[in-house]
Amino acid sequence: MSTTFTIDTSTSRATPMPAPMKRLTVPAVRGRKVDGVTAEPLVMLTAYTVRMAQLLDPHCDMLLVGDSLGQVIYGLPSTIPVSLEMMCAHGAAVVRGSYHSLVIVDMPFGSYEASPEQAFISASRILKETGAAAVKLEGGEAMAETVAFLSARGIPVMAHVGLTPQAVNMLGGYGARGRGAAEEAKILADARAVADAGCFALVIEGVVEPIAIAVTKAVACPTIGIGASAECDGQVLVAEDMLGLFERTPRFVKRFGDMAAAISEAAGAYATDVRARSFPTQAQTYQRKT
C-alpha cells in the first residue's frame, strides 16, 4: 500500500501531513490475507536509521528493524552478538523516521529463548523504548509457546522459519533449507506451530520454493518471503542489499539500485575537489557582510 507522501527533509515530516496520521496496524496487516488469498502483496524492507526510514516508509507496508544490522551497520560476523540495547536504539530511530509503516523490531539472540517470561521482559522493553508495534523472533515449534504467551499479553509477534540466521552455529551456514524430506516436513511443522500459536505474520527465509508455497497455503496468516517465492503473501529484503550497497549479491537478492557506485563516485569527486582546492568555493563559504 504505497502513499503519495513525500518527505520534507528540512523538517523530517511527511508532506502533506497525512490526516489523521495513522500507521498500518497489526490487524490491518493480518487482515490482508483473506481466506488464504492476499490480493495486494505486503511490502517490507529493513531499516536501521532515521534517514533510511524516512526514505523507505512511503513505499512500504512494514519496516523491519532486523538484527541483520549486526552485519550491515556494525560489521559483526553474524547476528549472534547483537544486543537488546542496539535493537532498542535503532528501533526508536526507525519509529521516529516513519509515519505510515508498521514497525517491527527483531528480538536479538539470547533475549527470548530461555522462557516465555524472558521473552515478555525483552519484548515489552522493545515496545516501550522504541514505540514499535510488534517484535519478530526466530524459530518454529520450540517457540510456539512463547508466541502464544506474548500474543496473549498484548505483544504482536512476527515469526521466522526456514533459514534462521541466529541458529547459524547449529545449521553450519546460511545455505537454503528444506532440501530433504525430513527438513521439508520440519519447516512445515514449524510454520504451522507458530501460526497456530498466534503469530500475525510469518517470515519464510531461504527455503526451496515449493516449501514456501506449501507453507503459504498451509497457514492463515500472511507469509513474508526472502529467498522463498513470489507466491508468498509479501516480500522482505535487507534494504542495503536491494539498493546495491555491497559488491556481493546473494542469489535471492535483486539489486534495484547501485548505491555503492553512487557513493564511491561522490566521494571520489569530493576528494578530487579538495585536492585541487576547488572546494569550497565562494558559494560554500561565509564572507564578511559589506
Among 66, 108, 206, 244, binds ligand KIV (CB under 6 A): 66
67 lies in the binding site for ligand KIV (CB under 6 A): yes
CB 41 within 8 A of CB 233: yes
The pattern of x and - marking residues 30 through 49 that bind ligand KIV according to CB under 6 A reads ----------------x---
Among 94, 161, 226, 232, binds ligand KIV (CB under 6 A): 226
238 lies in the binding site for ligand KIV (CB under 6 A): yes
Shortest separation between residue 19's beta carbon and ligand KIV, angstroms: 32
Which one from 205, 209, 231, 265 is the annotated catalytic residue? Answer: 205
Q: Which residues contact residue 39 at a Cβ distance below 8 angstroms, ignoring those fewer than 6 apart?
A: 32
As a whole number of angstroms, the distance between CA 210 and CA 207 comes to 8
Shortest separation between residue 170's beta carbon and ligand KIV, angstroms: 17
Among 68, 101, 130, 146, binds ligand KIV (CB under 6 A): 68
Element (H, E) at 261: helix 259-275
Length of the chain: 290
Residue at grid coordinates 506451530: 193
The secondary structure of the chain in percent helix, strand, coil, rounded to multiples of 5, reads 40, 20, 40
Shortest separation between residue 222's beta carbon and ligand KIV, angstroms: 14
Q: Is 205 a catalytic residue?
A: yes
Contacts with ligand KIV by CB under 6 A: the residue count is 11
Question: Coil, helix or strand for 41?
Answer: coil
Shortest separation between residue 193's beta carbon and ligand KIV, angstroms: 19
CB 86 within 8 A of CB 92: no
Catalytic machinery residues = 205
